[in-house]
Structure 1
Amino acid sequence: MADGRVGVATSVWDMIVFQKAYAAALEIHRIAQTFPKHEQYELASQLRRSSKSICANLAEGRARQQGSTAEFRRFALIALGSTDESALWCRFAKDLGYLTEDQFQKLSGQYVEIAKMLNGLIAKLK
């Protein structure tokens, strides 16, 4: 979706919002590996899963778009929910001292941008 029009992307990998969500998920994954051992199956796991869920839902929704734009919209809405969830877990991680203020600000900014892009996509899919 290089030009922002719905249906232009030949692959989910062409979607700028997917690329940004994927990059954020990779960053989150790397950072979460540094969390204390007792958080690896709790907060770190939740953060990794929610950040990757954005990408997974966009990929599945994009694949299903061939049959139904409404189906893609449904998956984009789920991805938006995962974006908000990821932002929430980032705040918990910051408040618990596992993210620096700089890391938190960067990730928060990325999730705000991803959410705006998803809201735009969802509006176009109506």
Structure 2
Amino acid sequence: MTFVKFHKDLVVYQKAFSAAMEIYTVSKKFPQEEKYSLTDQIRRSSRSVNANITEAWRKRRYEKSFISKLNDADGEAAETQNWLDFAFACAYIDENTYLDLYKKYDEILGMIVSMTVNAKKWTFSEPKNLNP
């Protein structure tokens, strides 16, 4: 594992950002009647993955807070997959796009789960009371 100074250095952040930008581009082609429903939902959830990873990074001083924000990122990534299911079922995206994006979110989910399970490696130690 290389040294990570900023949240943008995290591979999971970079992959989630790239996937969210792909979804933004693909969703531009969704029908106008989906503007305030599917288009809005899939963009919001895909962007929220990054927002929650960013918040988790800033809260790594406290393991439980770090894990909580990663759990939120996990939920948003899974929600994005749900909206991909709908986009594909409605024929707004083709099968290759669907499978490619779904696989990317599977990878992102795996990375988030790994960070959660190994939270102690990512968080700071609790301060020790030197005056017993």
Length-normalised TM-score, structure 2: 0.87
Contact map agreement 1:61 1:75 (CA 8 A) in 2: yes
**Structure-1 separation of matches of 2:35 and 2:14:** 26
Does 2:66 match 1:91?
no
Q: Which of 119, 122, 129 pairs up with 1:125? A: 119
Give, in angstroms, the shift of residue 68 of structure 1: 1.1
Q: Which residue number in structure 2 is paired with residue 16 of structure 1?
A: 11
User: Which segments of structure 1 move beyond 4 Å, counting only runs of 4 or more?
Assistant: none
In structure 2, stretches of 5+ residues that fail to align are 121-132
Secondary structure at the residue paired with 1:89? helix
Q: Which residue number in structure 2 is paired with residue 104 of structure 1?
A: 98
Give, in angstroms, the shift of residue 78 of structure 1: 0.5
Q: Which amino acid aligns with 2:29?
A: T
Does 2:42 match 1:47?
yes
Q: Which residue number in structure 1 is paired with residue 56 of structure 2?
A: 61
In structure 1, stretches of 5+ residues that fail to align are none
Does 2:66 match 1:72?
yes
Q: Which residue number in structure 1 is paired with residue 130 of structure 2?
A: none
- Which entry has the higher C-alpha Rg, 1 or 2? 2
**RMSD (Å) for aligned C-alpha atoms:** 1.1
Q: Which of 24, 28, 31 pairs up with 2:26? A: 31
Give, in angstroms, the shift of residue 33 of structure 1: 1.1
Q: Which amino acid aligns with 1:28?
A: I
Length-normalised TM-score, structure 1: 0.91
Identity of aligned residues (%): 32
Give, in angstroms, the shift of residue 9 of structure 1: 1.6
Q: Which residue number in structure 1 is paired with residue 107 of structure 2?
A: 113
